[in-house]
Chain A
Amino acid sequence: MNMMTGVSPWERLIRPDRVHGSLYTDPDIFEAELKNIWYRTWVYVGHESEVPNANDYVVKSIGPQSVIMTRDEQGKVNLLLNRCSHRGNQVCSFERGSARSFTCPFHSWTFANDGRLVGYAFPDGYEGQDKAQLALGRVTRVESYRGFVFGSFAADGPTLREHLGGAAETIDRLVRTSPEGEVEITAGFLKHRVKANWKFILENECDGYHPAFVHTSIFGVADSMIGKLYGGASTALTRDYGNGHTEIDLRPEFRKRDAPMSWFGTSEERLPDYTARMKAAYGDTAAREIMIDGTPHVMIFPNLFIAEIQMFVIQPLGVDDSVQHVTALQFKGAPDLNRRLRQQTMGSVGPAGFLLADDSEMYERCHRGVLARNPEWIFLGRGEKRQRQDELGFTVGHVTDEVPSRGIWTHYRNLMEPI
């Protein structure tokens, strides 16, 4: 709050139908975002299936910070900061593995995989020192929802379930695609770097206005069914769940088609094993509904994007430096479906993907574009007049409308306002 004028700087930068271009390019704003968003709210870190056994670990991140996700001997998942409590060296230099402990290469302090300091070299120099005071740093709160592990550096605040709010239901929908009700993250990640601010990525994930144009080259040559979903005549919806979570709900289109697995461009006949397992797990009627509706297209603020067949994790490294970590979603008990998920994901995403190479080109061009100072604003008013509330009270609009961006910026302002 500016004491002189009584006007919050955020009110000047974020209006209902437009936001200021400097929000994407100002290094001070980026630093404020680290503090107020990335190092405070719930951020997606990893999936429990990435550390299936005791002593497994995988190195993840929260913004620029390296985080080791471990499963300790008791089976508990820990999020430890990759920074020695002695003089700061990184204690883990491998992306994944199995380890009961991590020994710092600098002066050989050794930490258990739950973060406890268990020993230091030449201990006589540390007479009377309480080792418990020198554990590895950890992400303050760790919670998981259906296997998706989130961390928050804030000691208090909403629970993960409160943060997810209405968007939790999209994850429920996702796991029902597995006959065993579980997602598995086992296919490895592609890491796609872009020279652009992270919010261009965040806002594009549920932007249904661009596919008809940005992806015209691949839709034209691949006779893809995707193009129609994002046309003017589409009955698909954009939705704002609040708390920055946004969705493109394609179910109205898939329900019109009324054909199981059409959402994935395939059919029950081509996935007989999967179909049989789904019917055995859920019964014929519910299995048919699940297989018609397909998986969600949802952006969980600020960094987890579930895009029907793949999952992206957005990582900001600097004001114009971001990484998209992406992998194929895999569903427990669905080997024939999983194979197709991997094949389609590899074609579509990552640095050489038919779709994501063009999306990423847009992120970078937008970033360079907004460095120009006039017009100062990014206009986000599309569909403002025709948006409405759905039966649960969430704001929805046409699939090409900018309901998601407006929802994201409303939440963003709430988070940034206190400073």
Chain B
Amino acid sequence: MLSRESSATLMSAITAFLYREARLQDEHQYEAWEKLWTDDGVYWVPANGADIDPERQMSIIYDNRSRIALRVRQLMTGKHFTQTPQSNLRRLISNIELMDEQPDDGDIAVASNSLIFESSLRDDTLWAARNEYRLRYVDGELRMASKKVILVNNDKAIYTLSFLV
């Protein structure tokens, strides 16, 4: 158990990290966002619920670290037409909670809610999600070892989701 003081310090570091990630995503700073990942990072957006087995069932995104890099490289080409022009985005991050301060593997389990307003050529779209992270200190900096984005409507037919969620 962390002391109350160190817990508050950790919480403010995590909050700052999540806000920064949100801003990098909203502003399409792809490379800076990619640097937030650990070398073994997993980026997962399940479909049809929160608890499917991603090794057996289709997910909207299930990227290992090299596929995260590929996703970023595709966005960087400027010819990924679904993001050319880029969506205008702003997201709110809230309900940040430390879920498990010191899990066995040393990662920090954190969860938040997000509400994202996307304006694209097609229309305006509102996205809502539960985000579950495992964060890790690497060389004194917080990094994402995993991020799971559970869209509230992931069981329904959804429009193209080509920005970083």
Give me the interface of A with B, judged by CB distance under 8 Å.
Answer: 95, 186-195, 214, 216-218, 220-222, 323, 325-328, 339, 342, 345-347, 350-352, 354, 357-358, 360-362, 364-365, 368
- In the bound complex, residues from chain A placing their C-beta under 8 Å from that of B56 are 186-187, 342
Can you give 19 A-B contacts (C-beta < 8 A)? A188-B48, A188-B57, A190-B47, A217-B77, A217-B79, A221-B70, A221-B73, A346-B62, A347-B67, A350-B60, A352-B45, A352-B60, A354-B71, A357-B80, A358-B80, A358-B82, A360-B160, A362-B81, A368-B121
Q: Mark B65-101, 1 if CB is under 8 A from A, else 0.
A: 0010011011001111110000000000000000000
- With A191-B157, A357-B160 in contact, is A365–B57 under 8 Å at CB? no
**Contact between A188 and B82, CB atoms less than 8 A apart:** no
Q: Is the CB of B57 within 8 A of A191?
A: no
Q: In the complex, which residues of chain B have a beta carbon less than 8 angstroms from the beta carbon of A190?
A: 47, 58, 60
Instruction: Tell me, in angstroms, the Cα distance from A218 to B121 when the chains sit together.
Output: 21
User: Measured between alpha carbons, how far is A407 from B59 in the docked complex, in Å?
Assistant: 34
* Complex contacts, B79 vs chain A, CB 8 Å: 216-217, 220
Closest approach, in angstroms, between the C-beta of A124 and any C-beta of chain B?
41
Extra inter-chain contacts (19) besides given A187-B57, A217-B77, CB under 8 Å: A195-B159, A217-B74, A220-B79, A221-B70, A221-B77, A326-B58, A342-B58, A346-B58, A346-B59, A346-B61, A347-B70, A351-B60, A351-B159, A352-B61, A352-B162, A354-B70, A357-B80, A358-B81, A361-B81
B57 contacts which chain A residues (CB < 8 A)?
187-188
- Chain A residue numbers with a CB within 8 Å of B139 are none
Is there an interface contact between A192 and B160, defined as CB atoms closer than 8 Å? yes
Task: Assess whether B160 is in contact with A194, with CB atoms less than 8 Å apart.
Answer: yes
Assess whether B4 is interfacial by the CB under 8 Å rule.
no
A214 nearest CB neighbor, chain B only: B81
B158 part of interface (Cβ distance < 8 Å): yes
Bound: A346/B52 CA distance, A: 14
B158-A192 in contact (CB<8A): yes
User: Which B residues have a C-beta under 8 Å from some C-beta of A?
Assistant: 45, 47-48, 52, 55-63, 67, 70-71, 73-74, 77-82, 121-123, 155-162, 165
CA–CA, A407 and B47, complex, Å: 35
A351 contacts B155, C-beta separation under 8 Å: no
Residues B160 and A187 in contact, CB atoms below 8 Å apart: no
Known contacts A188-B48, A351-B60, A358-B81; A193 and B158 CB within 8 A of each other: yes
How long is the Cα–Cα vector from A347 to B79 in the complex, in angstroms? 18
Given contacts A193-B157, A351-B159, contact A327 B58 (CB under 8 A): yes
How close is A341's CB to chain B, nearest CB, in angstroms? 11
Shortest CB–CB separation between residue B58 and chain A, in angstroms? 5
- Set of chain A residues within 8 Å of B162, measured between Cβ atoms: 351-352, 357, 361
Do A357 and B58 have beta carbons less than 8 Å apart?
A: no
CA distance A346 to B61 in the complex (A): 7
Smallest distance from the beta carbon of B31 to chain A beta carbons, Å? 14
CB distance from A358 to the nearest CB of B (A): 5
Instruction: State which of B52, B55, B61, B158 has its C-beta within 8 Å of the C-beta of A191.
Output: B158
CB proximity of B48 to chain A, nearest CB, Å = 6
Q: How far is the CB of A340 from chain B (nearest CB, A)?
A: 12
Q: Smallest distance from the beta carbon of A375 to chain B beta carbons, Å?
A: 22
Instruction: Write the chain A residue with the least CB distance to B57.
Output: A188
Give chain A nearest CB distance to B78 CB in angstroms: 8
User: Which of B67, B77, B165 is within 8 Å of A220, CB to CB?
Assistant: B77
Determine the chain B residues whose CB is within 8 A of the CB of A221 once the complex forms.
70, 73-74, 77
Docked Cα-Cα span, A346 to B160, in Å, equals 14
